[in-house]
Amino acid sequence: MNITLDEIQNFIAVVDTGSITSAAQQLDQTVSAASRTLGRLEQKLATTLLRRTTRRLELTDEGEAFLERARDIVAAVEGAEEQMASRRIRPAGRLRVDAASPFMLHVVAPLVAGYRERYPDVELELHSTEGYIDLLERRTDVALRIGKLKDSTLHARPIGTSRIRCLASPGYLAKAGTPRKVADLAKHSLLGFTEPDSLNHWPVLDDKGQSVHIKPTIGSSSGETLRHLALADNGIVCLSDFMTRTDRESGALVPVLEKHWANQLQPINAVYYRNTAISARISSFVSYLTEAIGDSGF
């Protein structure tokens, strides 16, 4: 049958105004167009909705019954439109966020309470993935990524940067000694990544001004595991500031080879597919993170 909303609204306008001419004026149509629309609706319903006399239009019993349902349909559509408009103004609904475990634990989780206080109608769903994921396949609205992006199908919005530092616990340095030059790393226990190997390029420069690629003494795929190994006096580690801020402030981890550091900053981006409409939920969350990270000085 495929009745359209325009046909329903045309019928209601004819009833409410009392004539096809008045309805046409209200709907900014020609009288003939309004008449054809009404006739098309009656043809689809295979019934007469209005009796036409020389003086007025009268609803048939079928017209009375259909009018009630027609008003319900229009009210439902208008309600949906109002709800969508409200969501554009006031973020609401479920927001699925993905980030590597360390970033989720050290950055996102501490900010959730403040975000929820500001946007109580957003239902957060937080997922941790160490590698890159297909956002559509995993039904993820926005992913938070640290480092250089490779996927050109993604739209990226920068939300901050984080410096990378070489660190060790005072306990480890007390028993193994403090390296004074980059070459001294060969004598130490080095905590590095099993994957990706690119994370084992440490931002310290040797005598030739080259960064160093280390072979881990103890390896892990998790930066959080490496952090805990360093805290437990197992060796020297190279991690992002957002993971170690509290450790550095408390003295649980201290800088190593500071004079040889390259000023390497990792970009932090919020990513989503280019063809994704930026909902108020995504925009509010990304803006909140940008504001918070900017203030925290990662």
Give me 195's structure tokens.
């994957």
Spatial distance between the Cα atoms of 39 and 59, rounded to a whole number of angstroms: 14
The alpha helices in 90-217, defined as continuous H runs, are 101-103, 109-118, 170-176
Residue scoring higher pLDDT (27 or 53): 27
Instruction: Let me know: does 185 contact 236? Beta carbons within 8 Å.
Output: yes
* Residue 192 confidence (pLDDT): 94
- Angle at CA 40, nearest 5°, toward 73 and 42? 70
Q: pLDDT band at 76, cuts 50/70/90?
A: confident
Could you tell me which CATH number the domain at 165-265 has? 3.40.190.10
5-89: what fold?
Answer: Arc Repressor Mutant, subunit A (1.10.10)
Instruction: Let me know: does 101 contact 70? Beta carbons within 8 Å.
Output: no
Cβ contacts of 62 within 8 Å, gap of 6 or more:
45, 47, 48, 49
Same fold, 99-161+267-296 and 165-265: yes
CA 268 to chain CA centroid, nearest Å: 13
Q: Where are the domains of the chain?
A: 5-89, 99-161+267-296, 165-265
pLDDT, one tens digit per residue, over 163-187 is 999 999 999 999 999 999 999 999 9
Spatial distance between the Cα atoms of 155 and 169, rounded to a whole number of angstroms: 39
pLDDT, one tens digit per residue, over 95-148 is 889 888 889 999 999 999 999 999 998 889 898 876 554 554 456 788 888 877
Q: Name the class of domain 99-161+267-296.
A: alpha beta
* Residue 230 confidence (pLDDT): 96
Range with lowest mean pLDDT among 168-172, 195-199, 253-257, 271-275? 271-275
Closest CA to 296 of 166, 162, 167: 162
